[in-house]
Amino acid sequence: MSHVRPVGSRVLLVVAVVLAGLVPMLPTAAEAKPGKPKVAVIGTGGTITGVAEDRADFEEYDGSSLPIADIVNGLRPELDTVAEVTTAEGPEQTAMTDYYDLSLQVDRALRTADAVVVTAGTKSLEELAYFLDLTVRSPKPVIVTGSMRPSNVFSADGPANLYNSIVLAASERTRCFGTVVMLNDEILAAREATKTSTLRLDTFQAREQGVLGTVDGERVRLLRAPARIQNCGKNSWRTPFDVSEMDRDKLPRTEIVASYPDAGGEAITAFAEAGAKGIVVAGDPSPEEASALRAVLGKGVTVVAGSRTGSGAVYDAGAPGVLPAEDLLPQKARILLLLTLATTREPEDIAKRFARYGVPQFTS
């Protein structure tokens, strides 16, 4: 039998001091307070509340068939030992105005709740989560989850995803993380999470960045944190993207254009003529696209260059006035561009905000 030599308190103190200088302090479990944590669950539809006619029909089903309260009640009595859970219906995520409304609803819920869990369809879950990450004003935990299978089929993943999300929310361990995504037992940063498969349960991944942590039963394991945590407790933790100060009905139109050989520039011209204030280009523009982009840049349209590969980064946009998305995916870059243009139209300010909030980094 092997033996482990006890580590002296002096050595532990030295290790603690060294680590304190190298990494930011992660939030620990919430301080003890009377009663169970209050978690508000907001449902916005999607597969997690879908119902199939056959228990073996994983792909054909009626989405958004059940109220979120039914799914939550199906997790009792086990859930009652974790948190005091309330439910509410939110707007379905079909338009940017729905995102706007949901962001305000989440902040209202956090006035009395300790954390919020949002359930959503997975098709654009990553964009919804990133919008909330950039706009929610409260530093309390916000978790977005969903499912790949409807509620009544064999091996439905929705109940486990929702239960784990509530466990994570109740732990309050992700305070100041911004919004996180929780599916398949894994915790991912909203900025980095992306859907990689239309079928597999492990569809949401962070690719190059990796997961933030995991939820295994009652064990919440955090392995790293988003860079914004270094501003926890400071006014600078909040972004300038406060939707309560934006005109809901005048959110700037932003579009995405894909690049490929012989791609025409007509779509870019048409978007600009239709009133688009910003365009994200996914991939290297064709000659026709490049010509159209130069023309719309001259008319005040903001252009962002991203990659269509799903990983890697664009550091140099290759043209004057075009902003690089770096490793921000095109669909995420569009969200950031929309919110940026809703708060400023000055080119220098747009570039600064895109650089700071699009690629948050640890500064020490």
pLDDT in tens, the chain (364 residues): 444 434 344 333 333 333 344 344 444 444 445 789 999 999 999 999 999 999 999 888 988 899 999 999 999 999 999 999 999 999 988 899 999 999 999 999 999 999 999 999 999 999 999 999 999 999 999 999 999 999 999 999 999 999 999 999 999 999 999 999 999 999 999 999 999 999 999 999 998 899 999 999 899 999 999 999 999 999 999 999 999 999 999 999 999 999 999 999 999 999 999 999 999 999 999 999 999 999 999 999 999 999 999 888 899 887 888 999 999 999 999 999 999 999 999 999 999 999 999 999 998 7
For residue 31, the model assigns a pLDDT of 46
For residue 33, the model assigns a pLDDT of 59
Would you identify the CATH topology of the domain 38-237?
Rossmann fold (3.40.50)
For residue 5, the model assigns a pLDDT of 38
Whether 38-237 and 252-358 share one fold: the answer is yes
Strand spans (E) along 261-340? 278-282, 302-306, 322-324
For residue 221, the model assigns a pLDDT of 97
Residue 359 neighbours by CB distance under 10 Å? 16
For residue 245, the model assigns a pLDDT of 97
**In the chain, where the domains are located:** 38-237, 252-358
pTM, whole model, 2 decimals?
Answer: 0.90
Paired tokens of 53: 């006619």
**Domain 252-358, CATH:** 3.40.50.40
For residue 177, the model assigns a pLDDT of 98
Q: Which are the catalytic amino acids?
A: 47
For residue 266, the model assigns a pLDDT of 97
**Residue that is written with structure tokens 């523009």 in the block:** 285
Q: Which residues, other chains included, contact 330 with Cβ-Cβ below 8 Å and sequence gap of 6+?
A: 256, 280, 281, 282, 306, 307, 308
Strand spans (E) along the chain? 38-43, 84-89, 115-119, 142-145, 179-183, 186-189, 194-195, 204-205, 213-216, 219-222, 254-258, 278-282, 302-306, 322-324
> Could you tell me if 267 and 257 are in contact, meaning their C-beta atoms sit under 8 angstroms apart?
yes
For residue 319, the model assigns a pLDDT of 83
For residue 362, the model assigns a pLDDT of 93
For residue 364, the model assigns a pLDDT of 73
